[in-house]
Structures are given as structure tokens and as C-alpha cells.
Structure 1
Amino acid sequence: MSSSNTTLLVGGRIHTPQAPDATAMAITDGTVSWVGQDRPARALHPDADTVDLDGAFVAPAFVDAHVHATATGLHLTGLDLTTVGDAGEL
């Protein structure tokens, strides 16, 4: 599994439902190839370039590139009630 085109992230908090206690992640050719604990990660990928995350949080493959177009349009054309404090001011 290991190769010189693999980057190994260790010592972090890797968020994934499949491995909720993961601290390491391998990335090979730009794709997440393995997720788990530090010790097995180092054993499986001994030649990888290693990056110590120092406890940092990683959310692999998390993508949220969408827009709620209708809500945005209504915000632009509707009433701006952001400064209204209560029903009396409304």
C-alpha cells in the first residue's frame, strides 16, 4: 500500500463515520486511501511523506458548495426585518 506518492496525516482528529476514533489518514494520488489510527498507519505506509497534525481536525471529502437560490432571491427582494426586535416593532 505504501508509496512515495502517499502523504500520511497523523496525530489528528479525523472525522469519518466509518472510523470515529481515527487519528490518521493516508492520501495517495490526491485520494483518501486509508483512515485509522497512527500506529497501523505508519506500519502500512512506511515510505509516505508524513505530516504531524498536532491534534488538528480533518473532515475528509467534506464539500458544501451549494447555494439556496430561492432563499437568496427572496432575501434580496423581500422585506429586511433584521433590525426588528419584537412584534410591536414589526
Structure 2
Amino acid sequence: MEIDEAAVLRSELIVVDDLEQAKIECGDLMWLEARGSFRWDMAHELRDVVAGRVPGRRTEEGVTLFESMGVALEDIAAAELVYRKAREQGIGQELPF
């Protein structure tokens, strides 16, 4: 899905998986940067929002734009959490790998 320039302009918080990766792969934001509608210092990394180093949405009306590029490390962390929870609850089935 293409990012609308107006959506970026009305966002109070712009979040990416990884800033350096976004600068290389996030064509939507790169295009807006070239137009002068966006600067990379406007974006924050997801880890900083989750850790509380960057505040999340400040108001009910506030717009947060999350541009996900699918960082594999996030997938691995999610899979580990699901695996651990399944082991704790004694559910699931181990398969030969």
C-alpha cells in the first residue's frame, strides 16, 4: 500500500522497524523525502516506542503511521514468544526438524 503524502503530514508519530533499513528500502518515505514532505529525523524506530524512549500517541485523535518493512528479527522474537507460551501451557506438537 502506498503512503499518502497527506497521511504523513497529519501524523504526529512516524515509526519504522529500523531507521537505516528504511532509508534504503522504504520507497514511500524516500519519495516523500525527495519532495521535501518528510525528513528522516521525523521517524522513530519501533524499539524506541516499545521501550518508552519515544512517547506513543499523545491524544485519542493523534495519528501514528507505522511503515513496516518486515524485519526478520521481529518475526523471530514473535515466534519465540509463541513457542515459549505453548511450552508453558503444554500445547502444540513437536515435529522433527
TM-score, normalization by structure 1: 0.27
Rg (Cα) greater in structure:
1
Report the structure, 1 or 2, having the larger helix content.
2
User: Which one has the bigger strand percentage?
Assistant: 1
TM-score (norm. length: structure 2): 0.26
Q: Which has the higher contact order (CA 8 A, sep 6+)?
A: 2
